Structure 1
Amino acid sequence: MTARSQWTGVATREENAHWRSVAQAVAAELAVDVLARERAGAVPRAESALLQRSGLTTLLDPAPLGGGGGHWSSAFLAVREIARVDAGIAQLLGYHYANSATIALVASAEERDDWYRRSIEGTWLWGDSVNPVDPTLSLTPDGDGFRLAGVKRFSTGSSVGDVILVNAVVDSGPDEGRFAFLVLPAGHPGVEVQDDWDFLGQRLSASNSVRFTDAPVGPEHLLGFGTDEWFQALLTPAVQLLFGNLYLGIAQGALDQARELTNARPNAWFLSGAERYRDDPFVQRLYGELVAQVAAVEALADRVNEEYDAVVARGAKVDEQARGDIAIRVAQLKVVSSETATDVAHRVFEATGSSSTASKIGLDAHWRNIRTHSLHDPIDYKKLEVGADFLLGIRQPLSLYT
């Protein structure tokens, strides 16, 4: 693989339509028992297997090596469609895309194809343990490899992943201070997945903690080191763009379910002149407002998804300006998608009435999911990022969040 980027051009309508259709079929299967599964909060093994069988997990992988040969915009669409029904599994899939894409962004040209072949042939689901706000893991040289120790919280997919992507800084030796990308197989010695994921929402995202106890890391587990290459720095905007599409899908799902509930209600409020609840002008007005807001976010998401395709296709030609421009566009989407989804998932109850708060309905799952994940990183800092760029032309320093 000689080209720095395996992704060329942007996704066609036909490509997007294909992967959207695949995702919708998966979502339909997930919808059958989503409420029961969400409440049980069990490790999503069957759901992960469904993603693998569908072909969605290899969507971004190179076609010549057996992958789907798709673009990022198709991957974001797949996440969005599944989030309409099951936001936890949508998160699992989205994080898999970001984690597995580190092969293209980080691995050397000599090793890239081998990593992809193993991942594609094994239909690997990639979990992670990379939470940057946790204390840094200890990665200590040991022979021709390392020893890894410490704990990482919020390790999405770690309990179901065939492999786990781990980030750690080398603490001594000739590589001291270097940021390492490690890939450890499930069941690796010294790696203990904690059963501690018990949160308000995103219950099926398998985002538990992972404890590393002198876990051996050989050269075969080292994907690569962080560099100052701007192409590699596109990973963070990809993750944040994933969030924007995830939030949009949650908002769309809340509207989907609310519409069904409203259309099923037989009577309007007694002071209304309407015969049925759905005929009440106040109800229609509220839906008009919410649907229009979500449509605006969708238009922005589609545009930014395509813009990301175009940037990542530039490969080694990506420079600081291009990376900064797409990061700002993604931040804009993050702001409006987060706030719109939180508002929509809350206000649909006004459009569905008190009966929609019944436990058996499960309409609250959309709000719990967006409320939980929207706290991933403070939205105020995304607003600051956008505002500082607009007013002063100042951009935030690179990090795993900006």
Structure 2
Amino acid sequence: MTFDLSVETLDHAPTQALPRELRTPLTLDLITNDAEALATARRLATTFAPEAALRDRERRLPWAELDAFVASGLWGITVPREFGGAGVRNGTLAEVTAIIAAADGSLGQIPQNHFYALEVLRVGGSLEQQRFFYQRVLAGERFGNALAEISHKDFKRRTRLTRGADGWHIDGRKFYCTGALYAHWIPTLVVAEEQGRDVTYLAFVPRDTPGVTVTDDWDGFGQRVTGSGSVQFEQVRVEPEWVVPFQVSFEHATTIGPLAQIIHAAIDLGQARGAFEAALQFVRERSRPWIDAKVELAADDPLTIAQFGDLAARLRAAEALLRRAGRFVDAAQAAPTDRSVAEASVAVAEARTLTTTVSLDAGSRLFELAGAAATLDGLGLDRFWRNARTHTLHDPVRWKYHAVGNFYLNDKLPPRHGAL
């Protein structure tokens, strides 16, 4: 199954030609358990890391790396076991994400919405939809996203699904469409009028459908090759069996929000790990000690040692909270209730408070500890802070503290809008 990838590019986009066809891997590994998933992620990370700075600096889209990523079987690890997947625990999914993000922050983020769409299918898809799309994923096809809309101060969604005698069609424009550039399918958040009110759906749109235009116009200073540009839909035909109910995520307790958010936390944790390891290597191999330390090696500077100790302790704390959050999401998936889903959301929010702050701090303190030589542009060490700063703006950490505090102090359950 192939798709035409006719992508508009802007002047700032890469100069290399984009592939005309998006193929599935010729061979695809099948991961069967959590241990295999983690081992595969560690292996891939060692191959992704060496050119991460070059991809960032040249904005080189990671086609080959994504093909290897998908061929490894990692994009299918949340497919339930009864459908042929590994059905890994959420803590494993988070750790796999963190491992890849430590090597390359953009590669760690690209599949986030792929896993999000798989959770929407698990929660709200029919048995036939689950069978169809799970098999597509296990065959090597990947999902992007077209969820967010900009240019309006309100959060009203304007991308619409209309049903007529000549079929179902989608019209609208989306932005922040991470992964859509690389996707076989673009899960698209749409609204349809039903009995006088707007009802929300997630429509899975094949990338090559006439009327779909993906524009490579993401030019943020971080996460440069995530493909987070825009998608335009103009009278795009969609089959009814590709449209999954999504209203349930707002009206009933589901784990769609916590699942999405634990992956975001893992991306930030990976960014922190990457910055921390880069700082360790630079200080050991290249930094000079401050004259007042009266030591021969920068690694023997007592104040530098203390700073690394502080960062390490907060990294370990963030990792522990992320693992804990994974257990809460597992429990909520097994028995979703208002309370269990709220507890999962709060546990993930707690993790995100630490993963956000430590990723930003590690990216900044890298330079304080490594010294001026670390700022040389060719090294690309600034990408850790830029990536963390860009990704942590996905939703504001100040509201994570509010959700956690309101839960413990006033027993208020977090809102159901997908941001927790």
Normalising by structure 1, report the TM-score. Answer: 0.90
1:351 aligns with 2:369: yes
1:105 touches 1:232 (CA, 8 Å); kept in 2? no
2:212 touches 2:231 (CA, 8 Å); kept in 1? yes
Corresponding residue of 2:142: 125
SS at match of 1:164: strand
Corresponding residue of 1:164: 186
Pairs within 5 Å for 1:201-212: 201-212=222-233
Please, which runs of 5 or more residues in structure 2 have no aligned partner?
A: 1-31, 150-154
1:105 aligns with 2:123: yes
1:267 touches 1:277 (CA, 8 Å); kept in 2? yes
Are the structure 2 counterparts of residues 266 and 117 from structure 1 closer, same or farther at C-alpha, using a change threshold of 3 Å? closer
Are the structure 2 counterparts of residues 229 and 392 from structure 1 closer, same or farther at C-alpha, using a change threshold of 3 Å? closer
**C-alpha distance in structure 1 between counterparts of 2:285 and 2:251, whole Å:** 52
Corresponding residue of 1:218: 239
**C-alpha distance in structure 1 between counterparts of 2:104 and 2:198, whole Å:** 39
Corresponding residue of 1:34: 52
SS at match of 2:377: coil
Please, which runs of 5 or more residues in structure 1 have no aligned partner?
A: 1-13
Corresponding residue of 2:271: 250
Corresponding residue of 2:397: 379
Aligned length: 384
**C-alpha distance in structure 1 between counterparts of 2:156 and 2:66, whole Å:** 26
The letter of the residue matching 1:271 is D
- Aligned Cα root-mean-square deviation (Å): 2.0
SS at match of 1:204: coil
Corresponding residue of 1:271: 292
1:144 touches 1:218 (CA, 8 Å); kept in 2? no
Pairs within 5 Å for 1:315-330: 318-330=336-348
**C-alpha distance in structure 2 between counterparts of 1:29 and 1:182, whole Å:** 34
Task: Describe the superposition over 1:312-358 as per-residue Cα deviations: whole angstroms up to 9, x where unpaired.
Answer: 122xxx11111111111111111121112111211121111110111
SS at match of 2:255: helix
**C-alpha distance in structure 1 between counterparts of 2:47 and 2:114, whole Å:** 20
Instruction: Give the counterpart of 1:146 among 168, 174, 182.
Output: 168
SS at match of 1:268: coil
1:65, distance to aligned residue in structure 2 (A): 3.6
Pairs within 5 Å for 1:2-401: 15-121=33-139, 123-131=140-148, 133=155, 135-143=157-165, 145-170=167-192, 172=193, 176-227=197-248, 233-265=254-286, 267-314=288-335, 318-401=336-419
2:101 touches 2:270 (CA, 8 Å); kept in 1? yes
1:43, distance to aligned residue in structure 2 (A): 3.2
**C-alpha distance in structure 1 between counterparts of 2:135 and 2:253, whole Å:** 21
**C-alpha distance in structure 1 between counterparts of 2:309 and 2:42, whole Å:** 25
| Percent identity of paired positions between Structure 1 and Structure 2 | 28
Are the structure 2 counterparts of residues 134 and 285 from structure 1 closer, same or farther at C-alpha, using a change threshold of 3 Å? farther
2:204 touches 2:242 (CA, 8 Å); kept in 1? yes
Are the structure 2 counterparts of residues 327 and 181 from structure 1 closer, same or farther at C-alpha, using a change threshold of 3 Å? same
SS at match of 2:292: coil
SS at match of 2:204: strand
2:116 touches 2:259 (CA, 8 Å); kept in 1? yes
**C-alpha distance in structure 1 between counterparts of 2:197 and 2:270, whole Å:** 42
1:268 touches 1:277 (CA, 8 Å); kept in 2? yes
1:95, distance to aligned residue in structure 2 (A): 2.4
Are the structure 2 counterparts of residues 177 and 194 from structure 1 closer, same or farther at C-alpha, using a change threshold of 3 Å? same
The letter of the residue matching 2:199 is R
Normalising by structure 2, report the TM-score. Answer: 0.86
Are the structure 2 counterparts of residues 76 and 290 from structure 1 closer, same or farther at C-alpha, using a change threshold of 3 Å? same
**C-alpha distance in structure 2 between counterparts of 1:392 and 1:296, whole Å:** 26
